[in-house]
Amino acid sequence: MDLLSFTDFAREAKVEHELAAVDVSGQISLCKVVDAVDFFRPSVIEHLRCVGQEPRLHNKQWEYAQQLEAKKRYFRPGGRIAGLGCGCETTIPMMAEGAEEFVVTDLYGAKGAWGDASRRPDDLWPHVQNLKVVSMDMRSIALEEASFDFVSSLCAIEHVGFADAVIAVARQAGRLLRPNGVLFLTTEFTFDDRAFYAPGHPSGTLYLSHRELRRLFTETGLHLVEPLDLRVSTHPLNMPVWDQVNNKLFPNLPHVLYRNQPLPFWGTYAGTVSLVLSREDHGNDRILQDPDQMERLKPLFEMGRKLSRRLTLPTRWW
C-alpha cells in the first residue's frame, strides 16, 4: 500500500476533502493537534527542509517543525535552552544554534531509557560546541530553577506514568523558566473523553484527553501563549490506521492521526498535540473544541478502521 493507492482508497470511500477550505498560508498555531493539512504549510515544509527532510506526513516531522517554529517565535539568541527526554532528536543541532548553551537530557545510559536514548547526542554531533548532555530522569528535574529561556520536550512526558505524574513533570519544567521564557511541549492526544493508558516497554504511554491538557495550564503555574485548538479537518490523509501499520509495516502511509490498538477491540484514536506555555498569563487559557467533531470524523475513522483491517491481523482489529 502506498500513498497513491491510499488516496484512491479515500476517494473510493468518498471521504470529504477539506484542503481547499483550510487556509495554509497563514501562521500556524503552536497550540494545536496535528493535521494532515499542516504538512502543506510553507513554514512546515521550510523547517523540515532545514533538517534535511521532505514532508512525508509523519507526526514526528510535525513535532520537529512545531519545535523549530516555536524557537523562531519565542527564543532570543544568546539565551539558554533545556530539553527533556530528547533522545537523539534530529533537530538538536538546529536548536543549539544561537544558544549560549543547550542542555539536552534523557535517561542516557540509565535503566528505562528508550532506544532513542541509546546514543548520546554529543557522540552524534561532536561539532556542536554548546551542547551539554545530562543523564536525568525528568520526574526529578535536577537543573537550576529560573535559568532557561526555552525548555522543550517532544513526546516524552507521556511516558512518566499517569496523569498526576505528567502534570508534576510539567510543573517542574515550568520552574526552569526565566521571565518571558517558554515551555514547548508535544505529547500524545486521545480523541476520547478520558485519558487512555497504553502499557508498553520500557514504559507505557498516557494519551492525554482534553481534560489532562487543561490541567497543563490550570495546575502547573503555566499559561497558554495562544488558545489550544483541538479541532482537526476531515482531510483524507488524516485517516487513522493502527499506528504500527503506518510506522513500520507501510512507512509510505501517512502517520498523522492514528489508532493505538494494544489489544483487539481495545484502543484509542490519537494524534500529537503541541503546546507553548509560559509563566506569564497572556489571557489565552482556553481550549477551542468543535462539539460536532466526533460526528464529523466518524466516516474518516470508519474508513481508517476498514483500511487497517485490510492490512493487519485480527489481533489488531477494532
Using CB under 6 A, which of the segments 72-80, 122-130, 133-141, 285-293 binds ligand SAM?
Answer: 133-141
For ligand SAM, the closer CB: 141 or 303: 141
For residue 301, what are the β-bridge partners? none
160 binds ligand SAM (CB under 6 A): yes
121 binds ligand SAM (CB under 6 A): no
Q: How far is CA 209 from CA 130, 187, 225, 275, in A?
A: 37, 11, 20, 14
d(Cα 141, Cα 82) in Å, to the nearest integer?
11
Quote the DSSP letter at residue 247.
I
- In whole angstroms, the minimum distance from the beta carbon of 225 to ligand SAM comes to 21
From 101, 116, 122, 226, residue interacting with ligand SAM (rule: CB under 6 A)? 116
276 binds ligand SAM (CB under 6 A): no
- In whole angstroms, the minimum distance from the beta carbon of 91 to ligand SAM comes to 9
Q: Which of these, 236, 231, 225, 247, lies nearest to 32 by C-alpha position?
A: 231
Strands 223-224 and 266-278, how do they pair?
A: antiparallel
Residues in contact with ligand SAM, counted by CB under 6 A, come to a total of 20
Instruction: Compute the C-alpha angle 143/103/81, nearest 5°.
Output: 95
Using CB under 6 A, which of the segments 152-160, 220-228, 256-264, 310-318 binds ligand SAM?
Answer: 152-160
Residue that has been written with the C-alpha cell 476517494 in this structure: 11
Using CB under 6 A, which of the segments 22-30, 46-54, 136-144, 232-240 binds ligand SAM?
Answer: 136-144
From 28, 82, 138, 307, residue interacting with ligand SAM (rule: CB under 6 A)? 138
From 38, 137, 229, 243, residue interacting with ligand SAM (rule: CB under 6 A)? 137
For ligand SAM, the closer CB: 89 or 212: 89
Q: In this structure, how many other beta carbons lie within 10 angstroms of the beta carbon of residue 165?
A: 16
Quote the DSSP letter at residue 27.
P
d(Cα 193, Cα 211) in Å, to the nearest integer?
8
For ligand SAM, the closer CB: 10 or 104: 104
154 binds ligand SAM (CB under 6 A): yes
For ligand SAM, the closer CB: 99 or 156: 156
- In whole angstroms, the minimum distance from the beta carbon of 232 to ligand SAM comes to 21
Strands 196-198 and 177-190, how do they pair?
A: unpaired
d(Cα 190, Cα 206) in Å, to the nearest integer?
9
Give the 3-state secondary structure of residue 291. coil
271 binds ligand SAM (CB under 6 A): no
Cβ-based neighbours of 248, under 8 Å, separated by 6 or more: none
Cβ 40 vs Cβ 19: under 8 Å: yes
From 141, 155, 177, 216, residue interacting with ligand SAM (rule: CB under 6 A)? 155
From 7, 53, 203, 244, residue interacting with ligand SAM (rule: CB under 6 A)? 203
d(Cα 18, Cα 239) in Å, to the nearest integer?
13
Q: Which of residues 218-237 bind ligand SAM (CB under 6 A)?
A: none
Per-residue cell: 286: 482556553
Q: Which of residues 54-113 bind ligand SAM (CB under 6 A)?
A: 85-87, 89, 106-107, 112-113
Summarize as ranges the residues that interact with ligand SAM (CB under 6 A): 85-87, 89, 106-107, 112-114, 116-117, 137-139, 154-156, 159-160, 203
